[in-house]
Structure 1
Amino acid sequence: MEVVPQSRIDLFAEMESHYEKEDTDYFVKLLDHDDYVVRCRATCILVDLGGEDKVQYIAKVLKDDPNELVRHEAAFSLGQMCFSSGIAPLEDATANDPSMFVRHEAAVALGVVGSTGEPEVLEKALNDPEESVRHSAVVALSNLEFMKTLCKSEKFGKLTGG
């Protein structure tokens, strides 16, 4: 079991203080922190602070973070944010991320965002070498079809899992 460094816990306490002030700039800076746990938490906090203006930061994490867990969290977060401006970064990750873990989450997130455009990226993901990604594409495509044809509640349509 990994020992949690006290410096990380101290930073979490500092982060809590900035969270209460809704200090977006502070959390954007933490996206470049050396500790992947801090970057993951900063990603989640930015999403919680809300607003489409945060999509650009989360999209950059999805594209550039060296840690697949952090990129996975960014894909999940873009799905939860449900802004159409998150679709292009999610499509890119579904098609190109080297991690199956991230491609899977990006595909599911595309189904959550509810893009009614051409689902080409998801259709291509049906041929991904990893079964989990293929299954995620099926989930996403099924939800998109449901949202397009029968869904009465947008909130219900966003509940695909992931």
Structure 2
Amino acid sequence: MEAVPEKRLALFAQMEERYEKKDVDYFVSLITHEDYVVRTRATCILVDFGGEDKIPYIAKVLKHDPNELVRHEAAFSLGQMGYRSAIPHLEDATLHDPSMFVRHEAAIALGVVGAKDARHVLEQALNDPSVPVVESAIVALSNIQFMEKLSKNEKFAKLTGG
């Protein structure tokens, strides 16, 4: 269900106030809001707050949100956060999410994290029925290989990963 634009904008104003106060609990409560736009924004804000303690919340969004765009944003965000504790959640999404859009982003995120442990999952993704997922797995595997063998600059390696 989509919120009326005026209602959404009023909520965004409130969100901005809470963002300035770094109110993590408030944004955690919004990841189950009825409006997918609000859920997407709340996910991004939690990531912006930083910290590995946010991984379980973002992983919950990735696993359970009914909207594939929101789940895609969660996969992207987990990759950008770069924590190894996100790997199992990204692996699950790469192999099992019903949306090609999410499987593709989860595979890319594994490459961004540089998850050598996820190589077996990315190799399985090479058999995905969706070409973009297969191509994403190739990009991720290539980045992992690059990070293992050649890269001296971790930031650069993550930038080339997706």
TM-score (norm 1): 0.96
CA contact (8 A) 2:143 2:161 kept: no
Q: Would you say 1:157 and 2:157 are equivalent positions? A: yes
Q: Secondary structure at the match of 1:128?
A: coil
Q: Which structure has more helix as a fraction of its residues? A: 2
Structure 2 CA distance, aligned partners of 1:61 and 1:89?
10
**Which residue of the partner structure matches residue 39 of structure 1?**
39
Which AA in structure 2 matches 1:51?
G
**Which residue of the partner structure matches residue 24 of structure 1?**
24
Structure 2 residues without counterparts, runs of 5 or longer:
none
Q: How many aligned positions are there?
A: 161
Structure 1 CA distance, aligned partners of 2:86 and 2:155?
18
**Which residue of the partner structure matches residue 87 of structure 1?**
87
Q: Secondary structure at the match of 2:116?
A: coil
**Which residue of the partner structure matches residue 102 of structure 2?**
102
Structure 2 CA distance, aligned partners of 1:49 and 1:118?
26
Displacement of 1:161: 5.5
TM-score (norm 2): 0.96
Structure 2 CA distance, aligned partners of 1:3 and 1:36?
9
- Larger deviation: 3-12 or 84-93? 3-12
- Deviations along 1:116-158, whole A, 9 cap, x unmatched? 2251110010110000000000000000000011000000011
**Which residue of the partner structure matches residue 78 of structure 1?**
78
Q: How does 1:10-21 map to 2 (within 5 A)?
A: 10-21=10-21
- Deviations along 1:16-62, whole A, 9 cap, x unmatched? 00000010000000001000000000000000000000000000000
Q: Would you say 1:124 and 2:124 are equivalent positions? A: yes
Structure 2 CA distance, aligned partners of 1:53 and 1:137?
27
Displacement of 1:79: 0.1
Structure 1 residues without counterparts, runs of 5 or longer:
none
CA contact (8 A) 1:59 1:86 kept: yes
CA contact (8 A) 1:108 1:160 kept: no
Displacement of 1:4: 5.8
Q: Would you say 1:5 and 2:5 are equivalent positions? A: yes
* Pairwise CA RMSD: 1.4
Structure 2 CA distance, aligned partners of 1:13 and 1:31?
17
Point out 4+ residue stretches in structure 1 off by more than 2 angstroms: none
**Which residue of the partner structure matches residue 133 of structure 1?**
133
CA contact (8 A) 1:90 1:107 kept: yes
Q: Secondary structure at the match of 2:13?
A: helix
CA contact (8 A) 2:108 2:139 kept: yes
